[in-house]
Structures are given as structure tokens and as C-alpha cells.
Structure 1
Amino acid sequence: MLAAGAAHAAPQPGAAYGDHMVLQRGQPIMIEGTAGGGAQVTGTLDGETQRTRADFQGVFRLTFSAREGSTDPLTLTLRDASGETAIGDILIGDVWLCSGQSNMELSVARALNSYNELRLSPDENMRLLMVPKFTAAAPRREFGEPAAWHAATPETVEPFSAACFYMAKKLRADNGVPVGLIHSNWGGSAASSWLSPDHVRTMFGQAALDQLQLYDHDPLAAAQAFVPQWYDWWRANDNGNEPWTNPDMLEWADIPKFSFWNEWRGTGLDTQPAANVWLRQSFTLTAEQARGEGTLSIGAIDDLDLTWVNGHPVGYTFGWGVERNYRVPAEYLHEGENEVLIVASNNWDTGGFFAGPERLFFASAGGDTVPLGADWEYSIGAIADMPPRAPWDGIAGLGVMHNYMIAPLGPMRLAGVAWYQGESDVGPAGYADKLHALFDGWRGQFGDQARMLVVQLADYGTRTSQPVASGWADLREEQRQAVLADGNAALVTAIDLGEPSDIHPANKNVLGLRMALAAEGVALPQPESAALDGDSITVTFSGVVGGLQAYSGPFPLGVELCGDSQETCRFVLARPHGNQLLISADGLPATRVRHGWADAPVVNLYDARDIAVPAFELEIVQ
């Protein structure tokens, strides 16, 4: 249908191509778009003409020769037998994708010195594209809603990624060429949400990809295919009980009010909202209303729901602002009283009903609407842990953000990708493998030349006075190892830029400067080796300018020696010497040296450019 429609219109560029865009310098310029199926498409870019034929789905791709950076605006025309489309004010420069979760998403308006920065932000040669936040179970060619390129102004910069903007501001000052920035971020997202389908298959198996593809065209069938995993999980944690087969086994009470359950005073949910709560309601259908397939709408549930109608699972959705509209086959319905059963799962903050009862109703095939009302019953589940999540999960689903927020960017060449994510992945092992898969997927789409920048997580959490095990430190080390294993990547530490009590530190200004240096290929301080020589351990660094220095004292903080277990770790005194740290052996077992190994370490080790040494763990070579 899409191809047939395109046959009657002029060729159109892909979703991420448009007026005011920046195209990557020094690389073949690849333009993707749609036309009529099989149409001969001609493209002209500043006097260079290329031709191709659209495939049977109407997708075409044109490749123009590489160009040097330029502020002279160009025009691209696309034409076939049905007409012509022109795209103007195109610049040639460096294009960066900035992606990740909330710390990359954090806007200039929320960063430091925003008033002055916004006042000074206008730049006709910095262009910004904000990708709309949508998820999909399979790749899309269009964004969830139209997006457009804009020059940097106070209005366009204010909601844009602060880290990305400050990186670009430094790049503009250093290089003078135009910069294009693509903001594609989602707060709270997991790394797996940004994987391409091929890498979903590689990391999670064909069965997970099959479930995603099933969900894309039949959410009801996908939910029913996934629900047995949920059933197994509940039975394993609730002594084999199956409340969905016999809801009367639960103790039911009327909900105190139609609201988030945090407001249900005296229920226990007001003080401990992380829970699985059963909710039920009945609605009455006439014989005519029950004859055809209907739709059950239950508004938005915070965070996750599994919903049944008359004992049949009809939907499984994660997403605190996502409206649930579930298809209900006619064979699930009957004349008279029908029962809706929901188990709502909340992991953090508010839980349960997201808005008013007017959003909850059953719509029959004939168009009748039967309100579900506000007088629901509830029962607090025996399990408080979060259930298993489906592959199409709204915030941690497999590839769901790639499919709607990366795939539509098409094959445009990029200078690189700046990635700030990981808070949602703290805990489970294997983050380095996910980064490797992300790198591979981005280069497969945007070109082998794309440089990868990884922001090492900022300090956040409880301060400690003794060496501790740390999930945040583990993930920071996996970030470092993933960068080491890649030939064109850089680690940019934020270990000194965080706030122990705020997971969203505002100092993206300094972070952006460091990111820009890494983007330009400037070496930043990184640990290289740790070696035992007699009674001294020497830690050697690369990327140090002007020698290492410890602020506010003669010794760097947060340096540890460890044996084979966490219990053997202890803080030690280290002395900076040029690009090395010298540590006197203390006679205790020492196989590893650590720096900044805590959720929220206090660090004071920098080079002469005021760039902090990252958190790390190194094996000591004897």
C-alpha cells in the first residue's frame, strides 16, 4: 500500500533527511528515500547527478561523491516520472548521533549556566534534529511523528541534549566546520533497547526476535505466547498458586479511591508501593455486544500489567504512560457479566492507575461503549518482585528503540556516536558485550568510520569510607573494557562530575568539553598497566598531559590494592610521578589495583588539563 501510494507522488527523502540538514564530510553521501515501486529516480546534489531504481517496495538509495566541509548551502533534488522534490540549505560537516538514557537526554535548560549559554547559543552552522520518542517491535522507515532539522537558536537548543550541545560547541570552535547533531534518547532505557534486530538475535536468540515480530502484527498472540513464562515465574514464587485461574482465592477489598495506590492510606501500599497488586472489575454485555470481537481499554498502568478477560490473557504491557487497548476475541466474551482481572506491577515510585476512570471501558464490535467505572477491587499480591519482562517491553524491550528511533535514520554517514547510558544496566554482567553489539550495529548502519564515544558513569549513591563491592564500578569497568577492545572508540569519564544524591548531575558543560576532545581523537588519561617491581607497584597511564596531580593534598584518593577477594581490598597511599602512580607494597596480597571503585567515589587525580583519571581495575603484573 505504501509503495502504491508513493507511485502517485514525487520521490521523498527518508525520515531523517530534510531542509537545513548536515551531511557528513569526507564520506560518500548516501541518501535514502521512497518513490513508486520500480521507479527510476534521479538525484542532483550541487551539480552532481546520480540515478537509481527504487525496489518493489519503493525504497531507493543514491550515493554521491564525498565532499569537504563547507558552510555554503547546497540543494538536493529528487525526481522521477511523477515529479520532483527539493531539499535546501544543506551543509557539509560532521554529524554526530547522541544517544542513551536520561543523562544524555538531560537538556541544556537543566544544565549549569543555562541562561548565559542559551543567550549565546545561536549558530547557523550548528544544526539539530530531535528524534521523537516511540518504540516498535520491528524496524520502521519513518519516525513516530515528523521531525525536522533546525539551526541552533535559544528555542531549539533549550530542550536539546546538554552533553551533545556542549560537545558540538567545542567542535565548532576548534574545527570551524558545520556540525549536525541527532538527539535520540530515552530516560531509563536499557542498552538492549537500542540493539538492531541482527544483534537481538545474536544476544537473545531467534525465539526472542520471533516474539517481537509476532507482536508487531498480532499483540494478542504475542502476549499469549509470552504469558507461560509469567505463569511459571508466579507459581515458582507463590507456592504454586494460580490466582488467575481462581481469583476468589485472594482476599479482595474495594479500592479506597481511583488513583495511584500510593494514595490508598492505611493499605500498606502508601508506604511500600513496590508491589504486584491484583485488580478486578466486571462489566455486563448484551447478547449483541458479546457477539463480535471487542476492545478493552484500561488506560495507563504504572508500571506493568498482565490483563485477563474471563480468564483469558489479552495483553501484557510495560510503560507508565502507555495507554492499554487490548483486542478481545468474541469467543472470550459472553452475554451477562464478564470479568476483567489485572495484575499491576510497580517497581519504583507511583503504582497503579495513571489517570481517571473515564479512560477504562469496553468497546464492542458494534461501537457500543461500556464504562468500567471507578469501583474496582484490589488484593495485594504475595510477591513484591518485578515479573519477567516481554521482549516488546516499552523501556527495556529488545531493540524497540532502535526500531523507531535509529532505524529511520537510514544509511547516512556519521562522524560517530556519543553514548551515555548504563545506569539501567547496573547489576547484571555482560554490559561490555552489549556495547560491542551496539558498536557493530551502528557501524553497519552509519559506516565503519563512525567513532564511538562512551561516557563512563558519573558518581552517584552512597559515599563510603572503606573499600566496597560496587555494581556501578563493575559497569564502569565494562565500559572501559569495551572501549579498549575497539579500534576507534574513546572513554570519557564523568567520575568527578556527579552528585551523590542526584542521578542527573547538571555539569554537562565540562563533560561536553571532554567529549569533544575524544571526538577529535585527542587522548585522555587512561590506565595502561600495573607492574610490581621489587617492593613498589607502578601504574602507568597514557593520554596524560603535564603529569598527574592530586588536588587538595599530596596523595590521590580512592586508590586500592586487592588480593583475590573483596575482603582483601584496602586503601593505600599512591604518589603521582609524571604519567605514573607509585605505590609502596604493604606486604599484603596484591593482585589488583583499583581507582574510584565505588558507586560514588571521591576522586582528586587529574592531569594538567583538569581531566580526571577514570575509574578502573588493573591486574598487577609480577
Structure 2
Amino acid sequence: MAAAAPTLGPAYGDDMVLQRGQPVVLQGQTSPGIAVSAELGDDTARARADDKGRFTITLPARPASGSPQSLTIADASGSTTYDNLLVGDVFLCSGQSNMELPVTRALDTSNQLRVAADDGIRLLKIAKTTAPVPESDFADRPEWQAATGDTVAEFSAACFYMAKELRRRDKSVPIGLIHSNWGGSAARAWLTPAGVRSLYGEEALALLQTYSRDPFAATQEFVPQWFDWWRKEDGGREPWKNPDTLDWQPIPKFSFWNEWTGTGLDKEPRANVWLRQSFTLTADQATQAGSLSVGAIDDMDLTFVNGNPVGYTFGWGVERTYRIPAEFLRAGENEILIAANNMWDTGGFFGGPDRLFFTPGSSGDAIPLGADWEYSKSAVTSVPPRAPWDANAGIGVMHNAMVAPIGPMRLAGVAWYQGESDVGQPDYDNKLRELFSGWRAQFGSDAKMMVVQLADYGTRTSEPAASGWAQLRQEQIDAVEADANAALVTAIDIGEPSDIHPANKNDLGKRLARAFSGEPLPMPDSASLAGGSVTVTFTGIEGGLVALGGATALGVELCGETQDSCRFVTPQLTGSSMVIPADGKPATRVRHAWADAPIVNLYDGRGMPIPGFELEIAQ
């Protein structure tokens, strides 16, 4: 058979945008060892495929162009041509649900969709999936599309409105947008293997590689952590060894346990619950390895057969099918235990009982597990340890499936809106450092990192208080300040305290465009005590500091060493500085908007908000 013509990776295609001003890096696949050429306009380049048929070709940098161009990749077996390509600025927009939130859920949807069409904005939307090791292809191969009312409707609103503002500023530069997001995802899920190694060590990488080859073996390596956690939380008990020590009741119905009226789970579904069922095998069936399907469990499960752990999965809509070795089975009755944990909203069985069955051997008839399960609600309320391969907080699993296949194409920048899932977790600034490093290793050292500081969300307070959201916002600042080509874009004033998904992505997109364009945005710089007052200086201020809607800036605190020492103060605004009269009490730190959902009225003359921050006071 004739060899197939060479092709580029799955993120390259008709209608795409190539990055201007940087080498055009192309990666693809052909026959092993064969010479490959690329032609784009008057530029040509050649390379040779490696022993697995992979090749990388680099063409010279090109200026922005809205004139459609064609790219041809050829070797001795044939050629492949990609048509209608533009040259401009390409962005990856990534994070969790607030970057994922589509135009249809943002402000002014109908009017915005009516004027959305712009052939100079091209969109690529990556489907959600995870992988324990980097993949070369997407689960569902995406296609580049020009912006229209239909194509942008379910695309990231913050990302699209950034592009729209950039196009308003300069119509000569086309914009390419890559949407790769997952609601509820943790930052660590987007780490490259190098970032995983740096933050979590070689053992975590090795366990992920084991899972890619053999999920059963990886489970056996991981579950000792779960056992240690359970024993500590449950006074040393081990229900998987002796299930009869638990108080078992028939489940009221096969459904989410939120619907089990009178069980307590209908009032508080965030819980650890044991589920039990049995099935019968003949002597012959028990001599063969089989597979156990337990449907989808919301959110997390560790599943046992006859006291032996067989699978550990996080993911509320993920179907579980676990390999069961013959040595775990026996003739007669076999017992299934599921230790299920729910952290949010609905918990337990996701779907119907038809999804639950045991299949003996490689081709045996499935044995239904039915709907008559038993349950035992545990007194343990903490959350189990997360396996490195789980869906939302697995280490690198979203990068591996949703970013790695993009390949080494050059980008102008990355817009990152994530952090809600990491509130209360340590070292967010270090996670961002590794994300920045990983993105630049893949997409080029010139890629600008734009970090959205979390919006205001939660309970309003009238007194200074500790805040996990504020702490994470400060770590976002720390990460940006430690990077020479990063910018903070705060959303602290455009959130909705009662809605974790604020709709005003329109203004957020405009702020992202300002940041990419190099327009300085307000940032805290320093705080010093001298002459009986604390002076706080800022960078990126235009038109001086302004307190909107009142005589003074709200939410400014002086603090000593403890939280109890924090108190609200009344600053004086002078140009790009804020002066706070000393009040005779200990003052080692100054804070602004240090709350989950602060009320912010401190802006510069352009209407750009001052981010939430904490600064040490130089004495």
C-alpha cells in the first residue's frame, strides 16, 4: 500500500491563524525517516522524520496578514495543503469555569451575538478529556472556525471579548483563539510533566505512567494512602476487611442519595457512604479474570471485591469499569463494596442500575448487579486523598489531553482564569510558576502570561477577617510579579457575591486586551512607615487614584502580626500613592480588599480597579 501523505498535528488546520513575528513551527507525522518539505508563500523549509515518523519544520517569521494563504506539506508519498490561513496573534485561553463560561451566559448576549461575525477572529475549541501521559492527538479532533454568532455562542466569553477588543484596536492583526477549559479543575491538572516533576516529584510521574499502562496496578500502588487516611479518620477501623462492622440499610431507591428522604443525606449530601452488593459465580466463572462495571459514582469511589481494592476514580460523570483478577474471585457469593465520597451537590449513583454488572472471563454473559444495594453512612466527613489520575485535580491530566496535542505552535500569549478550586490549597504561586514555564517550553519563550485575579464571591463582611480567596489573589500577584512577561488582570470588582460565575466577562475581556497590548494596569508596589504615616505606592496608575462613590477608599486595613490586630483605616489619596495616618497600634502589613467578596471603590483615573493585595510595611 502507498504511504499516506504527511499531515500536521491536530491543532493545525484549514482556517487557522499562524503567530506573527515568530518562527512558524510545524509538527506532524509521516513515514519514518522520510524527508519532508513545507511551503508557505515564498518560504520553504525541509526536515526529516524520525524513526516514528514525527517531524518538526520551522519556517521564517511572518508579519500580520489578513490575506488568506495556503500551506503545503509534502514528501515522496504525496502532499497535504491547508487553506485560508491568516497570520496574526494566537492565544490559549485556559482555566476553569469562569474562563469556560460562554458568550451565551455573559452580558448583553443577543446584541453581542448579532455583531459577533468577524472573519479575522478564528476559534478552536478543545473537547474535555484527561490522560495520564501526554497525548499526540485530541479525543475529538477540533476544527478552526471563523467567528460568527453561531460559533462564538458556546465559546469562552472572556477569550472572545479579549479578541474583539484587540480587533477594535487594530483590524490589521487577525486573532486566533484556542479554548481549552474545564469547570472545577485544579491548577495542577494543567501542569506539564516537567511541572509535575518539579512540584510533586518523580514518583507522581511514575505512578501516572503506570496508570497509563495498567490502571489496576496503579490502584494497588496508591490505595495504601487511602487506607492510612481512613484508619486515621475512623479510629483505626477497616470496614473493607470486615463490612459487617458497619450499620447497613437498604437504599431507599436507586438514585442520587440526595433523594433518600429521612436518611440525613437528603439534608447534607456531602458525605462518605459505603455501598454494598453481592453477585454469584460458578466454580468455572471464578477461575477467570473478569470486569466490574459500577456505572458513574458522584464524585469519587474506591471499589473493593471481596475486600480487595480494584479501582479508584474521581469524576461525577465517569463510567467505572475495573479489571478483576481471578485470585480476587471465589465460587458462590462475591461481595462488592464501594466507598463513595461526594464533595458537592449530588452524590452517589449517577445513572440507572443497567450500568452496573459483572462480566466473567473475556466473553461471558454479564451478571446484572441490580438496584437492591445496601448503604451505610459514615461518620467520616473529610475528603479522601486524590489519586494523581483523577479527572478534576489529577496531576497534569488536562494538560496531557487538552494542551499537549496542540504541539509546539508559537503563541502570543495565554489568558488564565482559574483558582477557585485551589482556594485553601498551598503554593498557588509556585503552581503558576510551573505553568508559565511549561507553556513557554511548548509555545515559545515570548508568550505573555495574563492571569485573572479572582472575582468577588461569597459573604460580605463588615469587619476585617481572614480570607482564603484573598490569600489566593495575593499569590496570583506574587506569581505575576516574579515573571518578567506576565500581567495581572483583576476581576475583583465585577463579580457577583451570590454567583461564583459572574456574567460580566465583557469588561474582563477588554482588560485582558489592555494587558496584552502592554498597557500598564494598577499594581501594588511598596508600603513604608515614615513621619507618622504609612505610604503605599502603586505602579500602572493613570489619572491618579480615585475613590468612587464616596469620600474615601473602602476596604483598606492596617494589621500587626495577628488577624485580630487588623482594622479598617481611612487613607488619603495623592496621585499614585495612598497615605494612611498611623494610629498608634502595631502595623506590619497593609491590605486592600482582603475579603472573599470585598466592596471595591478604589480605581485609577481610567476606571481600572486596584487589585486586592497585602504588602509588608518597611519600617
Return the TM-score normalized by structure 1.
Answer: 0.98
Structure 1 contact 128–151 (Cα < 8 Å) conserved: yes
What is the match of residue 542 of structure 1?
539
What is the match of residue 196 of structure 1?
192
Residue 8 (structure 1) shift:
2.6
**What amino acid is aligned across from residue 282 of structure 1 in structure 2?**
S
Of 403, 420, 423, the match for 1:426: 423
Of 251, 255, 261, the match for 2:257: 261
1:8 is the counterpart of 2:6: no
Q: Distance in 1 between matches of 2:322 and 2:75?
A: 42
**What amino acid is aligned across from residue 162 of structure 1 in structure 2?**
A
Of 13, 28, 38, the match for 1:18: 13
Of 202, 206, 216, the match for 2:202: 206
1:342 is the counterpart of 2:338: yes
Q: Distance in 1 between matches of 2:235 and 2:534?
A: 54
What is the match of residue 328 of structure 1?
324
Q: Which secondary structure does the structure 2 equivalent of 1:79 belong to? A: strand
Residue 165 (structure 1) shift:
0.6
1:275 is the counterpart of 2:234: no
Q: Which secondary structure does the structure 1 equivalent of 2:168 belong to? A: helix
* Deviations 1:193-219, CA, capped at 9 Å, x for gaps: 000011101100111111100001100
**What amino acid is aligned across from residue 85 of structure 1 in structure 2?**
T
1:350-429 aligned within 5 A = 350-364=346-360, 365-429=362-426
Of 479, 482, 505, the match for 1:485: 482
Q: Which secondary structure does the structure 2 equivalent of 1:205 belong to? A: helix
**What amino acid is aligned across from residue 90 of structure 2 in structure 1?**
V
* Deviations 1:342-393, CA, capped at 9 Å, x for gaps: 1111111110000100000112222311111100111112311110010101
Q: Which secondary structure does the structure 1 equivalent of 2:285 belong to? A: coil
1:93–1:583 distance in 2 versus 1, CA, 3 Å? same
What is the match of residue 308 of structure 1?
304
**What amino acid is aligned across from residue 343 of structure 1 in structure 2?**
A
What is the match of residue 88 of structure 2?
93
Q: Distance in 1 between matches of 2:513 and 2:330?
A: 63
What is the match of residue 286 of structure 1?
282
1:523-602 aligned within 5 A = 523-602=520-599
Runs of 4+ more than 6 Å apart: none
**What amino acid is aligned across from residue 204 of structure 2 in structure 1?**
A
1:295 is the counterpart of 2:291: yes
1:216 is the counterpart of 2:238: no
Residue 287 (structure 1) shift:
3.2
What is the match of residue 64 of structure 1?
59
Q: Distance in 2 between matches of 1:366 and 1:455?
A: 52
Residue 330 (structure 1) shift:
2.0
Structure 1 contact 289–366 (Cα < 8 Å) conserved: no
Residue 533 (structure 1) shift:
2.4
**What amino acid is aligned across from residue 277 of structure 2 in structure 1?**
Q
Residue 536 (structure 1) shift:
2.1
Q: Distance in 2 between matches of 1:216 and 1:74?
A: 40
Q: Which secondary structure does the structure 2 equivalent of 1:444 belong to? A: helix
1:163 is the counterpart of 2:158: yes
What is the match of residue 45 of structure 1?
40
Q: Which secondary structure does the structure 2 equivalent of 1:166 belong to? A: helix
Q: Distance in 1 between matches of 2:106 and 2:423?
A: 24
Q: Distance in 2 between matches of 1:65 and 1:551?
A: 50
**What amino acid is aligned across from residue 302 of structure 1 in structure 2?**
D
What is the match of residue 446 of structure 2?
449
Structure 1 contact 594–616 (Cα < 8 Å) conserved: yes
**What amino acid is aligned across from residue 374 of structure 1 in structure 2?**
A
1:511-530 aligned within 5 A = 511-530=508-527
What is the match of residue 507 of structure 1?
504
**What amino acid is aligned across from residue 166 of structure 2 in structure 1?**
L
**What amino acid is aligned across from residue 461 of structure 1 in structure 2?**
G
Residue 293 (structure 1) shift:
2.0
Residue 547 (structure 1) shift:
1.1
Q: Distance in 1 between matches of 2:284 and 2:516?
A: 65
Structure 1 contact 70–93 (Cα < 8 Å) conserved: yes
**What amino acid is aligned across from residue 281 of structure 1 in structure 2?**
Q
Q: Distance in 1 between matches of 2:55 and 2:121?
A: 28
Q: Distance in 1 between matches of 2:284 and 2:65?
A: 68
Of 463, 470, 474, the match for 1:473: 470
Q: Which secondary structure does the structure 2 equivalent of 1:290 belong to? A: helix
Q: Distance in 2 between matches of 1:558 and 1:332?
A: 61
Q: How many residues align?
A: 617
Q: Distance in 2 between matches of 1:561 and 1:349?
A: 38
**What amino acid is aligned across from residue 567 of structure 1 in structure 2?**
D
Provide the identity percentage: 64
Q: Distance in 1 between matches of 2:168 and 2:409?
A: 24
Q: Distance in 2 between matches of 1:322 and 1:21?
A: 32
Residue 575 (structure 1) shift:
1.7
* Deviations 1:533-553, CA, capped at 9 Å, x for gaps: 212222111111111111111
Q: Which secondary structure does the structure 1 equivalent of 2:13 belong to? A: coil
What is the match of residue 612 of structure 2?
615
Q: Which secondary structure does the structure 2 equivalent of 1:492 belong to? A: strand
Q: Which secondary structure does the structure 1 equivalent of 2:220 belong to? A: helix
**What amino acid is aligned across from residue 218 of structure 2 in structure 1?**
A
Q: Distance in 2 between matches of 1:199 and 1:160?
A: 28
Q: Which secondary structure does the structure 2 equivalent of 1:385 belong to? A: coil
1:77 is the counterpart of 2:87: no
Q: Distance in 2 between matches of 1:470 and 1:48?
A: 55
Residue 291 (structure 1) shift:
3.2
Residue 288 (structure 1) shift:
3.6
Structure 1 contact 289–368 (Cα < 8 Å) conserved: no
Unaligned runs of 5+ in 1: none
**What amino acid is aligned across from residue 486 of structure 1 in structure 2?**
D
Of 119, 130, 143, the match for 2:125: 130
Q: Distance in 1 between matches of 2:269 and 2:493?
A: 33
Q: Distance in 2 between matches of 1:49 and 1:486?
A: 35
Q: Which secondary structure does the structure 2 equivalent of 1:518 belong to? A: helix
**Two-structure CA RMSD over aligned residues (Å):** 1.1
1:120 is the counterpart of 2:115: yes
* Deviations 1:223-269, CA, capped at 9 Å, x for gaps: 01101110111111111111001111111111100000010111111
1:54 is the counterpart of 2:29: no
Q: Distance in 2 between matches of 1:36 and 1:313?
A: 43
Q: Distance in 1 between matches of 2:286 and 2:425?
A: 46
Q: Distance in 2 between matches of 1:542 and 1:33?
A: 44
* Deviations 1:570-609, CA, capped at 9 Å, x for gaps: 1000121111112111111111111000000001011121
Q: Distance in 1 between matches of 2:279 and 2:530?
A: 78
Residue 285 (structure 1) shift:
2.0
Residue 37 (structure 1) shift:
1.5
Q: Which secondary structure does the structure 2 equivalent of 1:442 belong to? A: helix
Q: Which secondary structure does the structure 2 equivalent of 1:129 belong to? A: strand
**What amino acid is aligned across from residue 256 of structure 1 in structure 2?**
P
Q: Distance in 2 between matches of 1:118 and 1:366?
A: 52
Residue 10 (structure 1) shift:
1.0
Residue 286 (structure 1) shift:
2.6
